[in-house]
Amino acid sequence: MKKAIFLFTAILLVSGFQLFASTGIDSEPNAPVAVAISGTVIDLLTGEALAGATVTVDNTDIKTFTDFEGKFYFNSLTVGTYDLKVSYISYQETNIENLTVAENNNGLEVKMKANGNE
């Protein structure tokens, strides 16, 4: 009986190792690479952070809002070129065109001009 239990346990362990090895930890070679974009939205004249600004990846449903420090963050974008639209109440919409993302882009600074500040 002990031999049968030992043999059964050994088979389970070997099967488990084979299953783990067959699923692998590596990603597929042609899988899209996930990248991130982060930055800060500030007032052009004062440098003040604009909390609650809307940052949208143009032509998609992907958008986020800036936090209390004016910071925004997109994750899980694929490598490529994007257009961003930034809007905030009483400010002119700001467009960032042809932002090429090949790796994580951190520290993007978006300066917005208040309406009436020509």
Rounded to 10 degrees, the C-alpha dihedral 41/46/48/54 comes to -30
Structure tokens at 23: 């699923």
For each of the domains in the chain, give its residue range(s) and CATH number, in order of start: 34-112 (2.60.40.1120)
CA distance 103 to 80: 9
Q: What is the pLDDT of residue 117?
A: 64
- The pLDDT tens digits for 12-40 are 444 444 444 444 445 556 666 788 889 99
Residue 77, strand partner residues: 35
Q: What is the pLDDT of residues 49-72, one digit of tens each?
A: 999 999 999 988 999 999 999 999
In this structure, which amino acid lies at residue 106? Answer: N
**Whole-angstrom Cα Rg for the chain:** 24
Output the pTM of the full model.
Answer: 0.70
> Of residues 100 and 89, which shows the higher confidence score?
89
pLDDT digits (tens, 9 = 90+) for 89-98: 999 999 999 9
CB of 67 within 8 A of CB of 40?
no
16, containing H or E segment: helix 2-23
Whether 77 shows a pLDDT value over 50: the answer reads yes
Please name which of 34, 48, 66, 115 lies closest in space to residue 84, comparing C-alpha atoms.
66
